Structure 1
Amino acid sequence: MKLEKTTNRSRLATKGESIRRYDDACGTAHGLELLGERWALFVVRELMLGPRRFSDLRGDLPGLSANVLTQRLIELEARGIIEKTTLPPPANVQVYGLTPWGYEAEIIVKELGRWAARSPAHDPNLPISPVSIMLSMRTLLVPERAKGLDFVVGFRFGSLAFRGHVRNGEIAITREEPKDAAAIFTGTAPGLGAYVHGKVPPAELEPAGLLKAEGDPELISLFPILFELPVKVGAEG
């Protein structure tokens, strides 16, 4: 076992990797070795809906310094979780995206978020990124309420656009222009959170520049009903 551990550590060292080790064979322990560094899971979360530029990641993670972001990207790439690519012309921009194995971490992001949202100390009014609010909808949709529905909605946050397709009791969200949307929501991620999870009507959010809704009024009224926050610990019954 010691020989195997030494070999494994040497392999990581040759890649410039500095991995925190717990010397525990449990998969949970190794999961924390892979994603437990400060900000690592946030970086993975922000890449769940497609590759992004360094500046995009910095913009949506304002508490993360450029130096720490650089280090996390290096580590996550060395671990096979993310990869660097260059967009084709005319963009010719380097972006960071998840590997196929990296995308499998979505269940961790979703279930950790669902579990932690039950904490009485969780504050839903804190800042949230566009990708995070999109993932929250994938996590908190109540399948029974969406059963039999089939429609497309769009979301715009500045230059960032998403398309949400509710069908078969699920919502599929992709990062693209929602050209076929029956309703479009434009504004901020906190504004969308107040509408979807706080059930605040867009008419009350629009004057403050938080969220504007356009399109089918019936769909705009229906949409937030499809989602439900988990019950806080101690509030059951």
Structure 2
Amino acid sequence: MTNTGETMRIRYDEGCLAAHALNVIGDRWALLVVRELLLTPKRFQMIRHGVPGITAGVLTQRLAQLAGAGVLRHDQALGIYALTEGGKALLPVLQAMCRWGAAHPGHDPRRFISPTALMISMTAMIDAEAARGFHATAGFAMGREGFVQRLAGDGLLQVEPAAEIDADFVLSGEANALARAVYGPESLAELAAAQEIGLQGDAGAAQRFVDLFRLG
């Protein structure tokens, strides 16, 4: 990482490319800050909302370090932080870590998950073979953040932020409740009846859609 925007702090004095990558993005919280910016630029407080364990001082430091390393840029006039192309290229790294984490014992799905973290996990954990030939547009409304996911028959899940959601169905609620809806054993109808989540639109298509995702 960098301390001044000019000098990289060498934590691992090796020629290994993985060690070099960790010198850039290996500090605590750094990858989670990147995660929160992968789908859309955000202001400081929105980033912090998605990473509730981080202090304001540490977040300020990480943002400066990531900017100095060329991973993100800060538009001071608008107060917006956005990833550079190099920062966006970390998406497959986060997806691979999601898949590795899902297979590693000890994961507790009851712990906090941010809306962006849920969306990224779904891009990683979709059953691509089962999704082939499936066409759907899914909406997710989570308080101040909304997203639209699209399946176009190729098995790949596309996600984009959406202020107004136009989709075949919309699931709404807190991110942890929607993570339970996507990955948990209960049906969407059960969760909606218990008012754990909101469900609007084609309920059958919504259930077929969430059945494409597994943590195990």
* Structure 1 and Structure 2 fold alike (TM over 0.5): yes
Q: Distance in 2 between matches of 1:121 and 1:50?
A: 30
| Aligned-CA RMSD value | 2.0
2:114 to 119, 129, 133: 129
Q: Deviations over 1:178-197 (max 9, x none)?
A: 54301001101111111111
Match of 1:48, as an amino acid?
L
Q: Distance in 1 between matches of 2:61 and 2:7?
A: 10
Q: Deviations over 1:97-154 (max 9, x none)?
A: 1001110011111101211221111212211000000001100111111111112111
Check conservation: 1:190, 1:210, Cα contact below 8 A: no
1:93 aligns with 2:78: yes
Q: Distance in 2 between matches of 1:176 and 1:14?
A: 35
| Aligned positions of 1:141-180 closer than 5 A | 141-167=126-152, 168-177=154-163, 179-180=165-166
The answer for unaligned runs of 5 or more in structure 1 is 1-8, 87-91, 231-237
1:45 aligns with 2:32: no
1:79 to 60, 69, 77: 69
SS of alignment partner, residue 103 of structure 2: coil
SS of alignment partner, residue 213 of structure 1: strand
Q: Distance in 2 between matches of 1:154 and 1:102?
A: 26
Check conservation: 1:85, 1:96, Cα contact below 8 A: yes
Aligned residue for 1:202? 188
Aligned residue for 2:22? 32
Aligned length in residues: 215
1:222 to 175, 184, 208: 208
Please report how far the alpha carbon of residue 60 of structure 1 lies from its aligned counterpart in structure 2 after TM superposition.
1.5
Please report how far the alpha carbon of residue 174 of structure 1 lies from its aligned counterpart in structure 2 after TM superposition.
0.2
Q: Distance in 2 between matches of 1:14 and 1:119?
A: 37
Match of 2:71, as an amino acid?
I
The answer for unaligned runs of 5 or more in structure 2 is none
Q: Distance in 2 between matches of 1:196 and 1:17?
A: 43
1:70 aligns with 2:60: yes
SS of alignment partner, residue 165 of structure 1: strand
1:56 to 42, 46, 50: 46
CA separation of 1:35 and 1:210: change in aligned 2, threshold 3 A: farther
Identity between Structure 1 and Structure 2 (%): 35
TM-score (norm 1): 0.84
1:112 aligns with 2:61: no
Check conservation: 1:203, 1:212, Cα contact below 8 A: no
TM-score (norm 2): 0.92
Match of 1:184, as an amino acid?
V
Check conservation: 1:187, 1:209, Cα contact below 8 A: no
Q: Distance in 2 between matches of 1:141 and 1:85?
A: 34
TM superposition outliers: structure 1 runs of 4+ over 6 Å: none
